[in-house]
């Protein structure tokens, strides 16, 4: 788990939140979160991304003060907050189910945090009015939550978490309950709000598209361990573990054995069929004989490409052509892998391929990443290789 070079090289990092060696175990046996080291910069939009049960909510709840860490320390502005009760942490929190108070109107919900802080009445009214304008709900102030649509409830929840001007806002899958269209609109609004307020957002999701489009940085979780913390293009283009490679976006995975390395950033892999591939090592020793996983993104593989430009290649048969709208998915079977997916742009339909046709799939060395297979032994290649998106 290392941070991308682009960010660590910056000298004056203004750390807002810091996790040091934080662990949490609910039952004293299994770790829900383990050895968590994470520095969050002030004003950053950081997303915790990971499959269900990977410890994202647990991490967020430890920061919010609703779970006590079993190990390690959490600090905000270099001050340890492990012992501070939740209601004194001054953190804005948005829940997946919004947790709006059902017996209060929108205005009363929004006034709640200010009343708790004993703001004078006039001040409260001013703030409520202001924030209602901000989330465009000015005419809904006297409605109760069940009289609002999902998107409106979401906005009230966000407004309530922002109204007391916290420096840090945590959101646990705040868009999980919305349909796709609304979700995209709310993603935009959230991002916009973040840019305008300049406060730190920590966002939890298991939707990778959401994570990639909104975040400054993404922290990928698996089984309570952070796999990688990086910019969106970092986790997509330069995954550090096979888990990240598989979890973020789609990947074609082929198992093979390391033959050796002739050059820096280049490794030779022999597939079971005897086929030799040249690839880029990500997280693997270059000692010969090591079992390795080779990955290729569907959009980086090309059909009937020039072997000079795309030196890696497999002979394969087209078994399916799926028109998806903005692109076309071609599924191929070869001796080495069945169900190899190639995405091609809509326009290259000109390449007149047909089902049953034998073709050569080719890809570049830099688009072919290799990972140690031992640390990924528990994951079924088929399951994650093509399951996402």
Ligand X SMILES: Nc1ncnc2c1ncn2[C@@H]1O[C@H](COP(=O)(O)OP(=O)(O)OP(=O)(O)O)[C@@H](O)[C@H]1O
Binding-site ranges for ligand X (CB under 6 A): 26, 32, 50, 52-58, 206
The widest CA-to-CA distance across the chain, in whole angstroms, is 78
- 8 A C-beta contact, residue 201 and residue 46: yes
Q: What angle do CA 178, 149, 130 make, to 5 degrees?
A: 105
Decide if residue 102 touches another protein (CB under 8 A).
yes
Name the strand (E) or helix (H) holding 257.
strand 252-260
Nearer to ligand X, 58 or 242 (CB): 58
Query: What are 242's two structure tokens?
Result: 């096979």
Q: Which of residues 35-74 bind another protein (CB under 8 A)?
A: 64-66
- 8 A C-beta contact, residue 247 and residue 212: no
Contacts with another protein by CB under 8 A: the residue count is 31
Sole window of 9-17, 85-93, 185-193, 256-264 interacting with another protein (rule: CB under 8 A): 85-93
Question: Sign of dihedral through CA atoms 304, 344, 310, 384?
Answer: negative
Query: What are 79's two structure tokens?
Result: 């001050």
Nearer to another protein, 48 or 244 (CB): 48
Residue 40 interaction partner, one of ligand X, another protein, Mg ion, none, beta carbon < 5-8 Å per kind: none
Nearest distance, CB of residue 47 and another protein, angstroms? 20
Site string for another protein, 149-168 (x = CB under 8 A): -----------xx--x----
Find the binder of another protein among 92, 174, 239, 385 (CB under 8 A). 92
Find the binder of Mg ion among 57, 215, 230, 252 (CB under 5 A). 57
Distance (Å, rounded) from C-alpha 159 to C-alpha 134? Answer: 8
Upper half-sphere CA count for residue 269 (Cβ side, 13 Å): 31
Nearest-Å Rg of the Cα atoms of the chain is 24
Sole window of 8-16, 50-58, 297-305, 310-318 interacting with Mg ion (rule: CB under 5 A): 50-58
Contacts with Mg ion by CB under 5 A: the residue count is 1
Query: What are 144's two structure tokens?
Result: 């109760």
Decide if residue 131 touches another protein (CB under 8 A).
no
Nearer to ligand X, 128 or 384 (CB): 384
Nearest distance, CB of residue 23 and Mg ion, angstroms? 18
Nearer to another protein, 174 or 249 (CB): 174
The 8 Å CB, 24+ separation contacts for 268-277 are 269/294, 269/370, 271/336, 272/336, 273/335, 273/336, 275/314, 275/335, 275/336, 277/312, 277/368
Decide if residue 236 touches another protein (CB under 8 A).
no
Nearer to another protein, 12 or 87 (CB): 87
Nearest distance, CB of residue 48 and ligand X, angstroms? 8
Residue 306, C-beta contacts closer than 8 angstroms, at least 6 positions apart: 362
Q: Residue numbers of the site for another protein (CB under 8 A)?
A: 64-66, 85-93, 95, 97, 99-105, 112-113, 115-117, 142, 144, 160-161, 164
Q: Residue numbers of the site for Mg ion (CB under 5 A)?
A: 57
């Amino acid at each position: 788990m290392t941070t991308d070079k682009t960010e660590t090289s910056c000298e004056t990092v203004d750390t807002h939140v810091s996790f040091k060696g934080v662990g949490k175990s609910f039952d004293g046996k299994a770790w829900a979160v383990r050895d968590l080291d994470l520095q969050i910069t002030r004003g950053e939009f950081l997303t915790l991304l990971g499959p269900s049960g990977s410890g994202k909510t647990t991490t967020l709840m430890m920061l919010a003060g609703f779970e006590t860490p079993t190990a390690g320390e959490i600090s905000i502005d270099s001050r340890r907050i492990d012992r501070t009760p939740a209601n004194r942490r001054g953190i804005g929190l948005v829940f997946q189910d919004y947790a709006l108070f059902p017996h209060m109107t929108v205005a009363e919900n929004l006034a709640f945090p200010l009343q708790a802080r004993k703001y004078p009445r006039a001040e409260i009214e001013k703030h409520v009015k202001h924030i209602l304008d901000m989330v465009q709900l000015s005419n809904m102030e006297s409605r109760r939550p069940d009289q609002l649509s999902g998107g409106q409830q979401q906005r009230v929840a966000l407004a309530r978490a922002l109204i007391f001007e916290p420096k840090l806002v945590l959101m646990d899958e705040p868009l999980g309950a919305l349909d796709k269209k609304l979700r995209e609109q709310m993603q935009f609004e959230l991002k916009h709000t973040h840019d305008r307020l300049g406060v730190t957002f920590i966002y939890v999701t298991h939707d990778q598209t959401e994570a990639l489009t909104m975040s400054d940085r993404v922290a990928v979780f698996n089984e309570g361990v952070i796999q990688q913390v990086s910019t969106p293009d970092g986790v997509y283009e330069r995954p550090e573990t096979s888990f990240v490679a598989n979890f973020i976006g789609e990947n074609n995975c082929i198992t093979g054995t390391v033959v050796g390395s002739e050059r820096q950033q280049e490794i030779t892999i022999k597939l079971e069929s005897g086929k030799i591939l040249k690839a880029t090592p990500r997280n693997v020793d270059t000692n010969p004989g090591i079992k390795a996983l080779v990955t290729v993104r569907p959009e980086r593989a090309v059909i009937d490409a020039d072997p000079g430009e795309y030196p890696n290649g497999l002979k394969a048969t087209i078994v399916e052509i799926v028109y998806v709208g903005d692109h076309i998915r071609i599924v191929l079977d070869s001796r080495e892998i069945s169900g190899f997916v190639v995405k091609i742009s809509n326009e290259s339909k000109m390449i007149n391929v047909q089902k049953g046709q034998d073709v050569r799939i080719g890809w570049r060395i830099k688009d072919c990443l290799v990972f140690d297979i031992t640390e990924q032994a528990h994951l079924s290649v088929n399951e994650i290789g093509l399951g996402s998106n």
